[in-house]
A and B are shown apart, each in its own frame.
Chain A
Amino acid sequence: MKIEAQDVHVYYGQEHTLKGVSLSVKKNTVTALIGPSGCGKSTFLRCMNRMNDLIDNCKVSGNILIDGVDINSPSVNINELRKAVGMVFQKPNPFPKTIFENVAYGLRVNGVSNKEYINDKVEWSLKQAALWDEVKDKLKKSALALSGGQQQRLCIARALAVEPSILLMDEPASALDPISTSKIEELIYNLKASYTIMIVTHNMQQASRTSDKTAFFYMGELVEYDDTRTLFTNPKKERTQNYITGRFG
Chain B
Amino acid sequence: MAKKLGKRMRQKQVRKNKWYEYQDKSYKYIALFATSIGVIILGILLYDVVLDGFGRIDLKFFLDSSSRKAKNAGIYAALGGTLWIMLLTTLIAFPIGIGAGIYLEEYNKKGRLSSILEINISNLAGIPSIIYGLLGLEIFSRTLMMGDTALTGALTLALLILPIIIVSTREALKTVPYNLREASFALGASKWQTIWHQILPASLPGIVTGAILAISRAIGETAPLIVIGAATYITSVPTWPNESFTVLPIQIFYWIGKPQHDFQVNAAAAIIVLLGITFLMNGVAVYLRYRWQKKVKW
Residues of chain A at the chain B interface (Cβ within 8 Å): 49, 51, 54, 56, 79-83, 86-87, 89, 91, 93-96, 105-106, 108-110, 144, 155, 158-159, 162
Contact = CB atoms under 8 A, between A and B. Distances in A.
Given A56-B109, A110-B188, A96 B197 contact: no
Contacts of A158: 183, 187
8 contacts: A49-B186, A51-B186, A54-B181, A82-B185, A89-B182, A89-B183, A93-B182, A159-B186
Interface string B173-197: 0000101111111111110010001
Interface in B186-229: 186-190, 193, 197-198, 201-202
B68 interface: no
A105 B182 contact: no
Nearest to A101: B197
Contacts of B298: 96
Given A51-B182, A89-B182, A91-B179, A96 B188 contact: no
Q: Which 4 A-B pairs have the closest CB atoms?
A: A83-B188, A106-B187, A87-B186, A109-B189
Contact of B183 (A81, A93, A144): A93
B109 A106 contact: no
Nearest to B297: A144
B289 to A, nearest CB: 16
Contacts, number: 69
Contact of B187 (A54, A96, A159): A159
B190 A105 contact: no
Given A56-B109, A56-B110, A109-B193, A93 B179 contact: yes
B296 interface: yes
B188 A80 contact: yes
A121 to B, nearest CB: 13
Contacts of A79: 188-190
Chain B interface category by residue count: 20 to 34
Contacts of A109: 184, 187-190, 193, 197
Nearest to A110: B188
A106 B189 CA distance: 7
Q: Which of A51, A56, A94, A106 has the most CB of B within 10 A?
A: A106
A86 B296 CA distance: 26
Given A105-B187, A106-B187, A158-B183, 14 more contacts: A54-B182, A56-B109, A56-B110, A87-B186, A89-B179, A91-B179, A95-B180, A95-B183, A96-B180, A109-B187, A109-B189, A110-B188, A155-B183, A162-B188
B197 A82 contact: no
A170 B185 CA distance: 15
B106 to A, nearest CB: 11
Given A56-B109, A96-B202, A144-B297, A106 B182 contact: no
A144 B182 CA distance: 17
A89 B180 CA distance: 11
A191 to B, nearest CB: 17
A105 B201 CA distance: 14
Contact of A54 (B185, B193, B295, B296): B185
Contacts of A49: 186
B296 A96 contact: yes
B297 A106 contact: no
Contacts of A95: 180, 183-184, 198
Nearest to A54: B185
Nearest to B186: A87
A100 to B, nearest CB: 15
Contacts of A82: 185-188
Given A56-B109, A56-B110, A109-B193, A162 B183 contact: no
A155 B182 CA distance: 12
